[in-house]
């Protein structure tokens, strides 16, 4: 009798296990809606799927991207717990509905894609209850697979960048086919009410872009572009709206900025604090991938300094060694930062140091507390369940939400003490002239701040016989 009872128990638990497996492989709207995250359902006109072609970079450039991405008319419905929160209506140009197209560069090469959504009428897809948040352009990013973007955007907010994109975690269907968990997020663009409020006539937003070769309109600069694989492309005005006159004006201005960095009078042209904050944020996060796009700079109007806009791409945070800066800090091809750090004008260096001293005991802990609270929330638990469905849908292994939290805490615990010591040492410089060195010390071992040996001292910070000097 006992043996029979035991067999019944085994059968019962096996039955429950099978039900659990079946539940996790049932990707119906009915099942996914029960998870608790908002569901974004996109139905295209006549069931047409968004498509694109894949292209490799031309000789002398870098990267892989997409071209000829089709804009497909669609209807978008957002629900939560089966309650309809938003309905764009059927597509009717300039009246209702939306278009959807595949977006991104290398990220578009995977099975499930990132997307760009353009509504026919401005609405707030994040449902914040205020008309100021209405816009036509939105992004669906696959970044819900980790907490990296959530961590990065919280850093962006706390360190004081001009604007932090808002977002929500969601599950996505396209033509009733489950795509997985996504971030529905504001796109980087001008919006005088809620995004980057640059002047409509004299302001601009541009992107330092490795994929410039895949755009219709771009420009290069005189000082940095010839040494790198990068050009500048447009975020505002839109590519199709920008005039030749505007391109020439902005190109000339950026050339002035770059010349000022070379000559050491850059603080007449750039907002030093925004540049220092942007770099420091990535140094704290240990970002590895700095060789692509998603680096935005802007000018509010003709009377403003050039500013870093918002941080964006966080796929490779926590990738560096714990005793290393981000690659933005150390790579000579990676924008202006090495030149600003190793400059006869120390305004940027000390803005960077002072910013660290102001925030080091506050912001990292605020981020830890914020992310831990999210992991314990109902939304965090719903995201974890969504990831489990995602792994089944695409046969991909993902980290758990709690593993993301542990990784972040481990990174901060190992990295921040090194960063504090190193930045403190950066502030212990002694000024010295090249003339003195030439006259008094012909046998010096000279290195730049990144450890590259130099034959002669250069302007900026040099390490000479194991001591740091500012060369004027």
Domain ranges of the chain: 1-186, 198-337+348-359, 363-471
Half-sphere exposure of 54 (CA within 13 A, CB side): 8
- What is the structure's pLDDT at 189? 95
Instruction: Return d(Cα 464, Cα 445) in angstroms, integer.
Output: 6
Q: Give the tens place of pLDDT for each residue, 330-359.
A: 876 668 999 999 999 999 999 999 999 999
Half-sphere exposure of 68 (CA within 13 A, CB side): 5
- What is the structure's pLDDT at 291? 59
- What is the structure's pLDDT at 106? 85
- What is the structure's pLDDT at 430? 44
Q: Give the tens place of pLDDT for each residue, 67-101.
A: 999 999 999 999 999 899 999 999 999 999 999 99
- What is the structure's pLDDT at 289? 84
Query: Cβ–Cβ contacts within 10 Å for residue 87, how many?
Result: 15
- What is the structure's pLDDT at 443? 44
- What is the structure's pLDDT at 180? 96
Which residue ranges in the chain fall short of pLDDT 50?
1-2, 4-24, 430-443
Q: Is 368 helix (H, G, I), strand (E, B) or coil?
A: helix
Question: Which are the contacts of 372, defined by CB distance < 8 A and separation ≥ 6?
Answer: 405
- What is the structure's pLDDT at 466? 57
- What is the structure's pLDDT at 290? 66
- What is the structure's pLDDT at 472? 59
Q: What is the pTM of this model?
A: 0.86
């Amino acid at each position: 009798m006992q043996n029979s009872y035991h067999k019944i128990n085994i059968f019962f638990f096996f039955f429950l296990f099978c039900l659990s497996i079946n539940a996790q492989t049932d990707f119906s709207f009915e099942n996914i809606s029960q998870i608790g995250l908002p569901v974004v359902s996109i139905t295209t006109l006549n069931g047409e799927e968004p498509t694109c072609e894949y292209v490799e970079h031309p000789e002398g450039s870098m990267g892989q991207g997409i071209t000829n991405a089709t804009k497909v008319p669609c209807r978008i419905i957002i629900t939560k717990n089966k309650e309809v929160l938003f309905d764009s209506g059927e597509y009717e140009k300039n009246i209702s509905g939306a278009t959807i197209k595949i977006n991104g560069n290398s990220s578009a090469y995977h099975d499930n894609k990132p997307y760009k959504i353009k509504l026919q009428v401005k609405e707030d897809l994040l449902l914040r209850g205020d008309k100021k948040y209405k816009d036509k352009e939105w992004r669906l990013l696959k970044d819900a697979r980790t907490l990296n973007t959530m961590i990065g955007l919280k850093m962006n907010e706390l360190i004081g960048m001009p604007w932090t994109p808002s977002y929500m975690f969601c599950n996505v269907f396209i033509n009733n086919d489950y795509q997985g968990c996504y971030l529905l997020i504001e796109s980087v663009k001008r919006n005088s009410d809620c995004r980057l409020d640059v002047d409509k006539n004299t302001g601009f937003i541009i992107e330092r872009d490795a994929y410039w070769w895949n755009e219709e309109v771009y420009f290069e600069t005189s000082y940095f572009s010839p040494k790198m694989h990068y050009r500048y492309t447009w975020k505002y005005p839109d590519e199709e709206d920008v005039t030749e006159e505007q391109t020439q004006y902005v190109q000339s201005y950026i050339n002035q900025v770059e010349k000022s960095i070379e000559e050491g009078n850059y603080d007449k042209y750039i907002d030093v604090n925004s540049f220092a904050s942007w770099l420091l944020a990535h140094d704290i996060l240990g970002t590895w991938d700095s060789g692509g796009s998603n680096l935005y700079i802007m000018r509010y109007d003709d009377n403003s300094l050039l500013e870093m806009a918002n941080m964006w791409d966080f796929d490779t945070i926590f990738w560096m060694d714990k005793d290393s800066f981000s690659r933005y800090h150390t790579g000579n091809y990676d924008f202006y930062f090495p030149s600003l750090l190793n400059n006869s004008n120390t305004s940027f260096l000390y803005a960077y140091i002072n910013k660290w001293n102001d925030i080091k005991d506050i912001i990292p802990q605020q981020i830890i507390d914020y992310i831990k609270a999210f992991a314990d929330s109902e939304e965090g638990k719903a995201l974890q369940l969504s990831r489990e469905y995602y792994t089944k849908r695409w046969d991909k292994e993902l980290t758990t939400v709690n593993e993301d939290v542990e990784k972040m805490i481990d990174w901060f615990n190992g990295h921040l003490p090194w960063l504090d010591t190193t930045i403190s040492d950066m502030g212990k410089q002694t000024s010295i002239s090249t003339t003195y060195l030439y006259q008094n010390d012909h046998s010096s071992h000279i290195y730049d701040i990144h450890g590259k040996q130099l034959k002669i001292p250069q302007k900026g910070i040099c390490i000479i016989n194991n001591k740091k000097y500012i060369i004027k």
